[in-house]
Structure 1
Amino acid sequence: MSQPVHLGLDVGGTASRWVACARNGEVLGRGEAAGATGHVFNPAEKDRLRLTLEAIAQALGAAGLQPSRVTAGLTGYGAIVSDEVKALVGTALGVGAGDIVLVDDIVLAYIAQFEPGEGHLISAGTGSIGVHVTASGAMIRVGGRGILIDDAGAGSWIALQALDHIYRALDRHGNFDAVEPLAGLLFAQIGGQDWHDVRQFVYGGDRGRIGTLAVAVARAAEAGDATALAILRQAGGELARLALALSGRAGDHPIRFIGGVLDLHPVIFAEIQACLPAQAVSRAVGDAALTAARLQSGQRQAWIALLAGTLAGPPS
């Protein structure tokens, strides 16, 4: 017989993490599956989420675990798709809609860091966004509008800034000599330097794949490339700008930064600190999937009440 568990999901564009807990919060299992999003209005993304949930269900079954409640944070999730996503989760994991709590992954990350109204959280991964959740449950967000509009400071933005720079150099000089080693490292990660290779990589993929090129920019910075260092420094400034916007709208609170971009190169966080000299700034630590798994164990009553009410509405 399978053991009932509270399941927490942290579904991101590049990876999805899960944690299964007993009712008392004891961890009984954890794992990782392919990335997905809450963009179920896109048939391909809907299928991607279904496959991810089915993979998690298979892993749980193999471990003799059966979810009784599910709390999930999904990148790109919005309340308008709640019913559709709950149906996917319920079908894959065998849980009724009333035992499923869904939030955007940035809200889940905030819950992992703060109590309501306690601080500001800036996330910098493939995309970038800042969030403050007030004590009454109102969500104030800045940024997070996607690669076509902004996502400044994010991995995808870093990659596109670098590509723009090397191609402007090509336009001026007819070659990439003036932008080495940045150009060479970008092309190595793309798998070719012909325009066809680059075009297929950028326009034939998604922002997650584009964002992987930020690693090449970081390698160029480590090699002393001045342009790469300038781009990463500018990324830090853009992320600090999100924090300043939140402080302006919601008041001064401790600011925490989270996301893989911060691990690319020390200059990024150093620039954040330089731009926010009077603020309480730190790197966030925590396990969002574990937070989700333990959320319905009764220990976070303020959050449980907010998630059942005002946070179901649109952000301000």
Structure 2
Amino acid sequence: MRTGARVTRVLLDGDRATGLEYVADGVLQQVHAPQVLLSGGAINSPQLLMLSGIGPADHLRSVGVDVVHDLPGVGGGLQDHPLVPTIWHVRSGESLFRGESPAGYAQWFGARRGPLTSNLAEAGLYTRSDDGLAEPDLQYHFLPVKYWQQARVDPDVDAFTACAVLVRVESRGSVRLRSADPAWAPAIDAGYLTEERDLEALVTGVEKARDIAAVGPLAKVLAEEWSPGGTRSTRAELRQSVRDTLESLYHPVGSCRMGTDADAVVDPQLRVHGIEGLRVVDASVMPTLVRGNTNAPTIMIAERAADLVRADLGARSALAQA
């Protein structure tokens, strides 16, 4: 393992991957191996493939990368879970913000109890934006804090947030190179709300969050709605609010998707189509976004990759001994 290194491209001998080029301590270096596994995630893995000349030929030429293998699907099909927060001030003056106090710290350090034991997402819910759907398309995270712009803006107030997350996503984005220079960050187009159905589902998500807040114990402690605000009530107004306040749940997948069609990047054994000795092992290979968090499925992909590599090495060893 080498830390503090930036991989710049996959080394290729014709249609076979032979290793990696990387920069460490300001020095351009190489490492060679019989198999190369890319695990850069849904942003970095397609970037590395394209920097190596593997990707959509026209795009590679447009940024000055020599085409080694025309693979149109690289960097396409990007998917992510978008969320929209609905936020209320808390009438009772009690929220997790109050946990950051001498008493709260004493409870935590003394007995590992009290408000600072919170994982923030204290409750969750799956539901449908349309009763005709066979499976839920909305997930909620309920937080006893103000969660606005990734909690970077004005978090130190008593508030309650219901985050509506779209887990059945039809919109697609892309990852593209801005330069042949590996030091340049890629151009990321998340493609949020490019499909009208996604926008309508999230509008319904805000409406359902309001319904939940209006009944039961929550109605007793919540004060005025801070976002999108009580004056925004029509679906047209809420559509604009969704566009204005949408955030990422940081679950990007699909930019090196698995499949057997012309737009697929890897096959069911995670091997890059048309290139020997090269696999992609991360969430970018998911053909579609799961209706939940991506951590466990990504671990599964890695475990499966380990089995596949082990089987390959065993087969080679058997051939060598034959």
Q: Which has the higher strand share?
A: 2
Length-normalised TM-score, structure 1: 0.25
TM-score, length of structure 2 as denominator length: 0.25
